[in-house]
Amino acid sequence: MAERDPAWKVLSKPDNQHDSAHLHVTGLARYADDAPEPVDMLHLAFGQASETSARIISMDLSAVLAAKGVVAVYTAADIPGENNTGPVRHDEGLLAEGEVLFPGQPLFLVAATSQRAARKAARLGKVDYETRPAAVSIAEARAAGSLIEPTQRMARGDAAAALGAAPQRISGHFAMGGQDHFYLEGQVSVATPGEDGQMHILCSTQHPSEVQHLVAHLLGVPSADVTVEVRRMGGGFGGKETQATSFAAAAALVAAKTGRPAKFRVDRDDDMVLTGKRHEFEVDYEVGFDAAGRILALSLHLASRCGASQDLSPAINDRAMFHVDNCYFLPDVEIVSERLKTNTVSATAFRGFGGPQGMLAIERVVDHAALALGKDPLEIRAANFYGPGRDVTPYGMTVADNIAPQLIARLRKDTDYDARAAAIAAFNAASPVIKKGIALTPVKFGISFTTTFLNQAGALVHVYADGSIQVNHGGTEMGQGLYVKVAQIVADVFGVPLSRIRTTATRTDKVPNTSATAASSGADLNGMAAHNAAMTIRDRLAAFLADLHECAEHEVLFTDEAVLAGGQRLTFADAVRKAYMARVSLSSTGFYATPGIVYDRAVHRGRPFYYFAYGAAVSEVAIDTLTGEHKVLAVDILHDVGRSLNPMVDKGQVEGGFLQGQGWLTTEDLVFDDKGRLLTHSPATYKIPTASDRAKHFTVSLWDGENVEPTINRSKAVGEPPFMLAISVFSAINRAIAATAPELREMPQLDAPATPERVLKAIAEFAAR
């Protein structure tokens, strides 16, 4: 941790279980939908647009209002304040005003006595449309010149000239699909009206402050009149960063209009239709390299389908550009990022926030170069690592903590990568139907919000007269273990066991103006803010006890459930009681702002990240060339979390992140029709990974290093970086397909996700060359 006295000692073991684990396994953990419902609770549903792009001529909602159980129906005209739930540009109305921008767009809001009644009634609206031309795909939006914002360019050197001089050049194109968050707990908000126009919202959101501010604007009241509370979420993954706002706003609108509590618990099918996904990308590249595989020049074009409103697309696409380098030095490079506006539900944040798309692009380039040279892709990766004299990113940030080469070398040795690769080559030569592939891919992921002002956090710590401690902070708990990590930090400051700490629900009336729990920054920001709050109280206690026992402040030690001062040994509770009786303040706020980050988006230069988190994974797969099915046989991961705050929690995050990334790249296929309507909107058709998709051999080890930056405990973020370790699975599948015709030394045309249909198509196309 930052600046401790020399006698400081960790008492709360780092391997503490998740603070809600016992509640999860016994079914006693309360989520937003579990709160007892008052008898006058109203339930909500949206009436959704059936067209893709249209002008609304008229809406007849008389049948909706007359339906059984319906209490009220609202349109945009009923909103007292600003009709907006968009986080930045304010271009996303809660309810449509005159036009439809995507199929499923909310047109009106139904309040009824039950969820079923509300959903049934919402289908009775009669809407007349005047249809307009629509742009659903990336190609259609490009042809129409439809952009969320101007195309962005990040460059260094002269890529065109370097490509012209390169001894070897290749080019390629591939696409990667989006991904639904498929959180186990769907979107849900409960709004309860208070006195004098106040509103309380119990909401499953990663960003309570944003919900608070946008709901206040929509209701036309000050932010101080809206309180948003989050105790826990049943998963978020970015899908509750901006997407929760519309459901919270709808509930608040109904509660304000009727004076009755209102709940919006979204049905899974509606949830998948109404909420944003990971951005789909198409990638075009041309790369020049030498005989050793060292990249000399790269021209890369990224195009993403952003949907009907801006949401967080600029920042997400920026992060894709930031991660095109991954662990590799690119001397002459041009990265062009096209952000296309389409008549589809807006794409949004998802674990990795654009980083996975950029990283997959460069790993595809490396794999292609390896095939062209007839080399193992790992040799090409090693030839291009950042190193001395080659340590500046395309956006001008120096890579000061480059542990990737050492980490990868250790994983290569520990997993017998070379021997396994040779054995797989021999297997493939003798096996006409089943082909295997193996890949070792690295991760270098930047940690910080790339929107600089978001890198701040607050906390509130109370020490009670009996020695118990209550902690509140702006971070939200979505299962990732943030609460237990922050509690450990506070326990360590006071030298007390973790059992003395009670973390309370995140509330906007306790810690204001918070940033989203996102960008893998939850523990970095909130942990340091809580540490600062706790240190303030500890310093007050030390000053008081030093004066009382006639010793120096630095001689007051908080350790081993005791406080030592001037030769006296007190229990922590006794020390606190004495301080209380002496009128010493035992409560404090804490604040933290990440230092040293600055970025000029206009020129895409600066230091957008405080540090990098690293990792690497070896994945071995087998494919059936007759069916296109694949099996992940083995996964070995070595991941960098600095000096871990909680190794048990961190390993769980690594494993879960990998499996979610594996799903994105292999099974989770979002299918839209030509009108932009989602066809895979339930678990019957949308396939997330299951236990059987996890490799039977699956190991996770943590790198034994610490952060070079003075983060809390010298730890590193763990939420997002492991997601991209699963690129090793996709690369291994590519190698297995390439093994069907090794003499070609070409890249299979495989798009992500690598479903059986796509794998079969790639094999057939490969055989036809």
Give per-residue burial for 743-755: e unless 16+ CB within 10 Å, then b: eeeebbbbbbbbb
- Residue 270's closest CA among 137, 127, 129, 116? 116
Residue 82 annotated among the catalytic residues of the structure: no
Report yes or no: 485 and 645 within 8 Å, Cβ to Cβ. Answer: yes
* Complete edge-to-edge strand list for the sheet that includes strand 42-48: 70-74, 106-112, 42-48, 262-265, 188-193, 199-203, 226-230, 506-507
Query: Is the alpha carbon torsion for 59, 65, 66, 69 positive or negative?
Result: positive
Joined tokens for residue 739: 């093994």
Residue whose tokens read 């080019």 = 171
Joined tokens for residue 144: 């129409």
- Residue 463's closest CA among 571, 580, 554? 580
Joined tokens for residue 105: 């767009």
Report yes or no: 450 and 319 within 8 Å, Cβ to Cβ. Answer: yes
- Residue 529's closest CA among 514, 519, 544? 514
Alpha carbons 80 and 221: distance in angstroms, whole number = 9
Residue type, 433: V
Give per-residue burial for 486-521: e unless 16+ CB within 10 Å, then b: bbbbbbbbbbbebebbebebbbbebbeebbbbbbbb
Residue type, 169: R
Catalytic residue (one of 51, 477, 620, 720): 720
CA angle 302, 594, 443 (to 5 degrees): 40
Report yes or no: 247 and 204 within 8 Å, Cβ to Cβ. Answer: no
604 phi-psi bin (left φ>0, alpha ψ -120 to 50, beta other): left
Joined tokens for residue 762: 């790639």
Report yes or no: 174 and 208 within 8 Å, Cβ to Cβ. Answer: no
The catalytic residues are 720
